[in-house]
Amino acid sequence: MDGTQFDWNLIRSFLAVLDAGTLSGAARRSGISQPTLGRHIGELEAQTGLVLFERGRAGMMATGAALRIAEEARRMRDSAAAFSMAATDQETRVEGTIRLTASRVMATFVLPPVLAALRAAEPALAIELVASDSLENLLARDADIAVRMVRPTQNDLIARKINDFIMGAYAHQDYLTRAGTPQTLDDLYDHTLIGYDRTNLIERGMRALTGGYDRDAFQIRTDDQVAYWAIVQAGAGIGFGPRYVARQTPVLRRVLPELAIPPLPVWLASHRELRHSAKVRRVYDFLADALSALPLDRDGR
């Protein structure tokens, strides 16, 4: 008998017929059709070279050979059941490592209390956080879940918009004491503006609002989001960022509240295949609930 080509369904059918004593009874108990049961018994006899049942009007009478292998067959069935339970339990338990990626601002100013709450709720979970403004490739499994500020476009990803970062212009109160508070958009030309270096997002936004402002209008430039916000907090000039983050620094003051800066969407994404993982589903749903409940999209100072 060639074990590499052995069909374990034959054992299931063998035990069903052995316990029921008839093909019809085995079919009712197992849900396997009578023709399939009969075929499985024939295949098992051919593979083992044994006569397992005497077929008669009274049903299927087990032979001595069938009784001799029955105990081993039951052990195989029990082992298969234990394997299935272990595999199912592994899929349903929330444990192991989950790898998240998020922008540096999100990872620094928003996610820490959310991850603390996640760990408290799921103590068997280990969390890896990749704080990066580059888009981690979920398709290459560089991360299990991503929090992104742009809508993912790959077809193999599950994405959900969960909130919006409402944006504003901010400066340290000491800077405004020194330089004055701008009252109009034109007044910004007389102030130190903090912008991006190689990314022209702020420039494009300001041009859309005013028709002006090229790269040279921003006297301090960096593409590092955390460094950018630290420069604003240090009182170097006027910068642009999420109101939710600004509210965490009491010394910052909002300027030009009429400035209509488009909100920055917050998207949660994961690979479509990972929807079958209880761990990923749990963390995905936890993050969605926690981040959608944050007042990222509420107006404020």
Torsion of CA 152, 156, 158, 159, to 10 degrees: 10
| Beta-strand relationship, 167-172 and 157-165 | unpaired
- pLDDT one-digit tens code per residue, 221-266: 999 989 999 999 999 999 999 999 999 999 999 999 988 888 889 9
Domain boundary among 72, 92, 112: 92
- Same-domain status, 7 and 88: yes
pLDDT of residue 262: 85
C-alpha distances in Å from residue 86, one per residue of 82, 90, 274: 6, 6, 19
The pLDDT of residue 238: 96
Regarding whether 22 and 160 lie in a shared domain, the answer is no
Angstrom distance (rounded) from CA 131 to CA 109: 11
Average pLDDT score over residue span 193-215: 74
135 and 280 part of one domain:
yes
**How does residue 113 score in pLDDT terms, banded at 50, 70 and 90?**
very high
Q: How confident is the model at residue 89 (pLDDT cuts 50, 70, 90)?
A: very low
What is the band of 151 on the pLDDT scale with cuts at 50, 70, 90?
Answer: confident
User: Token pair of 198, please?
Assistant: 């190689």
- Shared domain check, 80 and 109: no
Do 124 and 240 sit in the same domain of this protein?
no
80 plus 218 within the same structural domain:
no
Number of domains in the chain: 3
Is 102 in the same domain as 88? no
pLDDT number for residue 79 = 76
Q: Are residues 134 and 192 in the same domain?
A: no
Tell me how far apart the alpha carbons of residues 173 and 254 are, in angstroms, rounded to a whole number.
9
10 token code pair? 């034959």
Task: Look up residue 236 and give its DSSP letter.
Answer: S
Q: Which of 54, 74, 92 is the last residue of a domain?
A: 92
Tell me: do 211 and 150 sit in the same domain: no
What range does the domain containing 45 cover?
3-92
At 269-294, the pLDDT tens digits run 988 766 678 899 999 999 999 999 98
Q: Is pLDDT above 70 for 138?
A: no
Lowest average pLDDT, out of 62-66, 107-111, 276-280, goes to: 276-280
The CATH number of whichever domain residue 13 belongs to comes to 1.10.10.10
Q: Which CATH number characterizes residue 268's domain?
A: 3.40.190.10
58 and 102 inside one domain:
no
- In this structure, are 230 and 275 located in the same domain? no
| 247 plus 195 within the same structural domain | yes
Strands 125-131 and 96-102, bridge-based pairing = parallel
CB-based contact 263:164 (threshold 8 Å): yes
Q: What's residue 251's pLDDT?
A: 95
**DSSP three-state, residue 79:** helix
pLDDT at 297: 67
